[in-house]
Amino acid sequence: MKPGVHSRGRTSPHDPELRWLDDQEKAAWTGLISLALLLPGSLETPLRQEHGLTLFEYLALSRLSDAPDRTLRMGELAFLASGSLSRLSNVIKRCEKRGWVVRTPDPTDGRYTLARLTESGFDIVHVAAPTHLLSVRRTVLDPLNATDQKALIRIAQKLRIVPESLS
């Protein structure tokens, strides 16, 4: 067995190859993880309180509202909403029950399922959009100047959070 490696393949804290975080790396990591854990709740709370929507529901519905014919393949919608296909399927099922979305087989390729935003779904996105916009501005964009915003875009791209098509 290699020194510093446990029998289950995990690295030991005494492994000479293990690089512990220096002060700057630790500050960067803790800042990022705090944002990742706290930011979604800050953006979701107003949507839940005023419109009964989760942040992910809003993101999925708004992506559909921007799509041609307000329709996307489920896999593409999952990518655009930054979620897994299984999570999206559960959300779309709830949205179908509310009359906001209709799912149908893709007529060009039956292996895929299309999600289409209904008029009622478009209405909820239209009504919720100002609430979301105010939260995004207040929580994320307004505290940053243009240089900070460009840095955020660059960092997100490096971490592969923002699809290249949005850059």
CATH code for the domain of 115: 1.10.10.10
In a domain, 59, yes or no: yes
In a domain, 33, yes or no: no
In a domain, 73, yes or no: yes
Which tens digit of pLDDT belongs to each residue from 105-153?
Answer: 999 998 999 999 999 999 999 999 999 999 999 999 999 999 999 999 9
In a domain, 19, yes or no: no
The half-sphere exposure of 69 on its side-chain side, counting CA atoms within 13 A, is 7
Whether pTM exceeds 0.85: no
In a domain, 46, yes or no: no
> Residue 98 in 3-state DSSP?
coil
Domain interval for residue 119: 52-166
In a domain, 91, yes or no: yes
Which tens digit of pLDDT belongs to each residue from 35-56?
Answer: 999 999 999 999 999 999 999 9
In a domain, 112, yes or no: yes
How many domains would you assign to the chain?
1
Distance from chain centroid for Cα 145: 23
Instruction: Categorize the per-residue pLDDT at 26 as very low, low, confident or very high, splitting at 50, 70 and 90.
Output: very high
Q: Which residue type, as a one-letter code, is found at position 141?
A: L
Q: Report CA-CA distances (Å) from 78 to 18, 61, 62, 141, 158.
A: 35, 11, 12, 24, 21
In a domain, 35, yes or no: no
